[in-house]
Amino acid sequence: MDESVNIKLLLLGDSSVGKTTFLKKYIHNEFNPNYELTIGVDYSSKKLHINNKVINLQIWDTAGQEYFRSITKSYFRSSNCALIFFDISNIDSYNNVEYWVNTYLSLSNNDRNSIILIGNKSDSIMRDVSNKDCFDLANSLKLIYYEISLKTHTINDISEIIINLLNNIDLNKITAIQPVNFKIKSNEFLRGIKKCV
């Protein structure tokens, strides 16, 4: 019988960089350019089979707005890995990547192998950041980098990113199944929780 492991994956980055769109594409294979902003945290899960392990992947889509950052930071500590997003047509989101990387590393105590950097909206004609600058940033931060368009890339492309991330972390160090912690610390946060089934 395959061993079961819970993996907590965070989707991080500024507001409107594609975190929710990524989640919906991966879980439901649907694309909608008009998703509402995430308030607090959105949660979905998916079961995968990797290296004789059943992976119960818990994906937490965090709000990127500064107002919610102190709330969502509490989720960093028990996470196993993260996808950090920026929008290549938004220079501010690119400039904030280092903040997200450093905050995640300091709060999670995970290493850089637990992060993949994603430049979204590669289909945009209004590019603010060059391809070279994106790869230079990833190299300087010692991160794997993918440049994608959630509008044009397929569910298989998205799945490949997830599998690559999970293959980078040491699943053997994540031993027994641990229950998902739904303990809420504030009423504001409670109003922001949504679960995709």
Tens of pLDDT along the chain (197 residues)? Answer: 567 889 999 999 998 898 888 888 888 887 666 655 554 567 788 998 887 888 999 998 876 555 445 555 666 788 899 999 999 999 999 999 999 999 999 988 899 999 999 999 888 888 899 999 999 999 999 999 999 988 887 888 889 999 999 989 877 776 544 444 433 333 333 333 333 33
The reported pLDDT for the residue numbered 107 is: 87
pLDDT given for residue 180 in this prediction: 42
- Whether 105 and 117 have beta carbons less than 8 Å apart is answered as no
Q: pTM of the full predicted structure? A: 0.81
What pLDDT shows up at residue 125?
83
Question: Cβ contacts of residue 11 below 8 Å, gap of 6+?
Answer: 19, 22, 23, 59, 60, 61, 62, 82, 83, 85
The single residue listed with the structure tokens 């909206």 is 121
Structure tokens at 32: 């909608």
How far are the Cα atoms of 33, 45, 146 from residue 134, in angstroms, in the given order? 23, 30, 9
Cα 8 from Cα 141, distance rounded (Å): 22
pLDDT of residue 72: 55
Question: What pLDDT sits at residue 98?
Answer: 96
Cα–Cα distance for residue pair 112/104, rounded to 1 Å: 10
* Residues in Cβ contact with 78 at an 8 Å cutoff, skipping those fewer than 6 apart: 8, 181
pLDDT value of residue 83: 96
Given this model, what pLDDT does residue 169 score?
87
* 3-195: CATH number: 3.40.50.300
Long-range residue pairs from 53-57, CB within 8 A, at least 24 positions apart, any chain: 53/2, 53/3, 53/4, 53/5, 53/171, 54/2, 54/3, 54/4, 54/5, 55/4, 55/5, 55/7, 55/166, 55/171, 56/4, 56/5, 56/6, 56/7, 56/177, 57/7, 57/9, 57/162, 57/166
Give CA–CA dist 16/118, Å, rounded: 13
